[in-house]
């Protein structure tokens, strides 16, 4: 069965620090990969997505992610975080099985950015 693993459950950073959140997935077929963000008290919003092509994907708010197929990884990065980036981040993968599309999430990484 496919699964998504996020390495860090909690990350604490100071403003201007660089961020990298790890994500690995297990699935051998064609995948689409996503990072979602959930600000406190809100629903999930899409940060960025990878379908095909350039493995370095740029999203909103200065976030980017790199798809490394050989490592089954899709790590999220931001060069300089802000206090407003405090949120929970979820990696997700879709797989196509029997003509159906299922979206599976990792456990999430809670990021706290201190001023």
Residues near other proteins (CB under 8 A):
6, 9, 32, 34, 42-46, 49, 51, 90, 92, 94, 96, 99-108
Q: Whose Cβ is closer to other proteins: residue 61's or residue 82's?
A: 61
Q: How far is the CB of 15 from other proteins (least distance, A)?
A: 26
Q: Whose Cβ is closer to other proteins: residue 35's or residue 72's?
A: 35
Q: How far is the CB of 56 from other proteins (least distance, A)?
A: 18
Q: Whose Cβ is closer to other proteins: residue 85's or residue 88's?
A: 88
- Beta-strand relationship, 3-6 and 45-50: unpaired
Tell me the backbone φ, ψ of residue 7, rounded to 5 degrees. Answer: -75, -35
Q: Whose Cβ is closer to other proteins: residue 7's or residue 49's?
A: 49
Q: Using the 8-state DSSP alphabet, how is residue 80 labeled?
A: S
Q: How far is the CB of 95 from other proteins (least distance, A)?
A: 10
- Beta-strand relationship, 109-114 and 100-105: unpaired
Could you give the CA distance from residue 12 to residue 85 in angstroms, rounded to a whole number?
Answer: 11
Of 86, 76, 79, 66, nearest to 35 by C-alpha is: 76
């Amino acid at each position: 069965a496919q699964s998504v693993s996020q390495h860090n459950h909690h990350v604490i950073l100071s403003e201007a620090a660089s961020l990298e959140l790890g994500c690995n997935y297990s699935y051998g077929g064609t995948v689409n990969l996503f990072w979602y963000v959930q600000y406190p008290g809100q629903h999930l919003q899409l940060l960025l997505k990878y379908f095909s092509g350039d493995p370095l994907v740029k999203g909103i708010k200065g976030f980017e992610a790199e798809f490394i197929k050989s490592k089954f990884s899709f790590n999220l990065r931001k060069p300089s975080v802000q206090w407003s980036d405090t949120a929970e981040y979820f990696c997700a993968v879709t797989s196509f099985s029997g003509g159906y599309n299922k979206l599976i999430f990792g456990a999430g990484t809670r990021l706290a950015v201190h001023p």
